[in-house]
Amino acid sequence: MPDTIHCPALLISAPASGQGKTTITAALARLHRNQGRCVHIFKIGPDFLDPMILERASGNPVYQLDLWMGGQAHCQQLLYQAAAKADLILIEGVMGLYDGEPSSADLAAQFHIPILAVIDVAAMAQTFGAVAHGLATYRAGLSFAGVLANQSASASHTEMLKESLSHNLPWLGALSRDQSIRLPSRHLGLVQAEEIVNLDQHLDNLADNLSQTALNVLPPPIAFTPPDIVSGELPQTLKHVSIAVASDTAFSFVYHANLNLLQAMGAKLVFFSPLKDDMFPQADSLYLPGGYPELHLDKLESNCVIREGIRDHHAAGKPIVAECGGMIYLLTTLMNSSGQQAAMVNILPGHATMKNHLVNLGLHSATFPNGELRGHTFHHSQLETSIEPSTLTQPTRKGLRAEPLFCIGRLTASYIHWYFPSNPAVAAELFLP
């Protein structure tokens, strides 16, 4: 029997997006961190912005848990490793509790994680009890730690909410409506953590508010075990391979698990900023993650040294992996939603325009010569190019739109944010000189 580790844990979910899951998860992490505890947070599903806030709240890196992208054994191993060093594990769900395939409820059931249901009550009273009851009873076998009311208007409002709750659902408290501690957002979700003025003060204020609820104490510990089959050490496929990784506020959408995997396979990562640096790093390969290039058109256009360095890198036949914002940076031009246009790297002939609506989203995979790689797409830009794609990605659901995948020389570019642990061998091949 594998060694079992016990650690308190909660999965924070809600009836829908926009209910305050990230706010409550961040507040809960900061509350217990301020009490001297080690808190490790996971985010269900593909997301880059929420984890930035959660990392500031907890002081530790935030990793994704996704049963489709990473698989059950991978998720179980991440949880087991966290349980070995944490005083508290928090898992922020995705969308509503039962939304998606797999859903937050699927992960809670798989690993027996108790659920904290967060419900925005700004426009309801006794219906709070019905919504909470539905969340708790829609699927059998889930464990509910209790319910937290978010955005309560007054003490009398809170009392009505509490009275409406079924006797078998624990009332954990309420947070009052307070615009001063709401986290700002933009079209892809929350604003990046480093852009929020006085973020730590926001988090401490949230933690103080949450300290008046039943969440001020740790939940009961639950059991975590390692997967039955634990993968051994990864082959050193990328030993002595240096990979330049774009890393700044324009290119910040990257999974910690991706970088860890590259390093575990022997790669040396060299971080650089296309916004600020005046020299392109010497490296065997280049990784251009997604981000917000449309917010930094002037700086990206004016940094001719970096643009020329990337063109020279490509002309030399060296590998480039470009994801979403990293791909549109390689186009001829990019136009933001205000109509401002700027010259980009011009490796991929074409143009992208930012739209005021979501263009595509969903979980996708693509087949490469040595296997399948999985990831997700979520973007507001429209691509126009004369280049025919090498292939199209495969969405997980019928009716979703496939994304073009461009393989030009050693360039691999698409709107997909790849999750490298889904197939380490394929990931390594993309960066091999």
Alpha-carbon gap, residue 148 to 24, rounded angstroms: 9
Alpha-carbon gap, residue 52 to 74, rounded angstroms: 22
Spatial CB neighbours of 207, under 8 Å, sequence gap ≥ 6: 27, 28, 30, 31, 34
Burial 315-351 (b: 16+ CB within 10 A, else e): eeebbbbbbbbbbbbbbbbbbbeeeeebebbebbebb
| Cβ atoms within 10 Å, residue 49 | 21
Burial 78-106 (b: 16+ CB within 10 A, else e): bbbebbeebbbbbbbbbbbbbbbebbbbb
| Cβ atoms within 10 Å, residue 168 | 9
Within 230-355, strands assigned E span: 242-246, 268-272, 285-288, 320-323, 331-335, 341-343, 348-354
Query: Which residues face 5 on adjacent strands?
Result: 224
- Whose structure tokens read 């080690």? 38
* Length of the chain, in residues: 433
Q: Is 324 a catalytic residue?
A: yes
Catalytic residue, chosen from 7, 38, 304, 324, is 324
| Helix (H) / strand (E) containing 329 | helix 325-329
* Nearest of 334, 259, 332 to residue 289 by alpha carbon: 259
Strands 394-395 and 391-392: unpaired
Alpha-carbon gap, residue 116 to 51, rounded angstroms: 18
Q: Which residues are known to be catalytic?
A: 324
